[in-house]
Amino acid sequence: MYLQMVGLNKHFETKNGPLVVLKDIDMNIKQGEFICAVGASGSGKSTLLRQIAGLDAPTAGEVRIDGQTVTGPGPDRGMVFQHYTLYPWMSVQKNTEFGLKLQGVPKKIRREQANYYLNVVGLTPFAKALPKQLSGGMKQRVAIARALASEPKVLLMDEPFGSLDVHTKEAMHEFMLELWQRTQITVFMITHDVEEAVFLANRIYALGSRPGTVRKEMAIDLPNRSTAVKRHSRFHDYRDELMDLMRQHGREALAV
């Protein structure tokens, strides 16, 4: 397996004792898959992503990428956040090059790689623009280009389309599928949006709450990946099953 979480547990110490956020998380992801982890508030989605990114250490268990244990952040993982985290004083080009610059990549090479990925995300004409001159969807495309420019093994996405309006979000979903099909990069994305997960993912891990645990693993098999598939009965079946599961987990969490 390319990306693995093995017996992953995470708790935080509080004045009332340990707060268990993640419990016994096991996930196995193949190279080139598009995986979504879906869960409501309290399911530990962001904490899980931080473990994979190496921004926080697990209490027990481990994360492995290509057989190597994750011990901290690294260029093998690109990260895209819900908020664009672009530097407002830098051009689109400079923002895209920034990670490469931190890695000490020579100017000529980082310019070539940034240019390539700006072309991949369709923003070459805006290379000299500042973030304030871009729409929300375009800003997120810059953030994705920046993450891809370092050519990571895994692209991690933290509810990347959560702050976009409905129409922009739909356009970004189609863009993301095209990008994934073109690059064949391994994607691990967290979201609370069930329809988004069903539309984008090959497989979905549904997380229960308090503590976050894997309650269900669901393979998604749809006839096509255009917006029209959202009217297909199979799409509705996947969505409804996940929604029912999340509602059940919500009732269980409230009863604790």
- High-pLDDT (> 70) share of the chain, %: 96
Q: Are 203 and 217 in contact (CB under 8 A)?
A: yes
β-bridge mates for residue 241, sequence order: none
pLDDT at residue number 252: 57
| pLDDT at residue 250 is higher than 70 | no
2: its two tokens: 């390319």
CA distance 220 to 199: 9
pLDDT at residue number 173: 92
> What's the distance, CA 188 to chain centroid?
5
Q: Is 58 exposed, middle or buried (0-12, 13-18, 19+ CB in 10 A)?
A: buried
**The model's pTM:** 0.91
pLDDT at residue number 253: 52
Query: What would the pLDDT profile of 65-74 be if each residue is shown by its tens digit?
Result: 999 999 999 8
- Which tops the pLDDT comparison, 247 or 191? 191
Angle between helical axes of 136-149 and 92-102 (0-180°, round to 10): 30
| pLDDT at residue 227 is higher than 80 | no
Q: Tell me which of 11-15, 83-87, 201-205 is least confident.
A: 83-87
- Three-state secondary structure call for residue 116: helix
pLDDT averaged over the chain? 90
How crowded is the C-beta side of 226, counted as CA atoms within 13 Å?
2
Query: What would the pLDDT profile of 32-80 be if each residue is shown by its tens digit?
Result: 999 999 988 778 899 999 999 999 999 999 999 999 999 999 889 999 9
Find out if CATH 3.40.50.300 is the number for domain 1-76+186-232+242-256.
yes
93: its two tokens: 């080009």
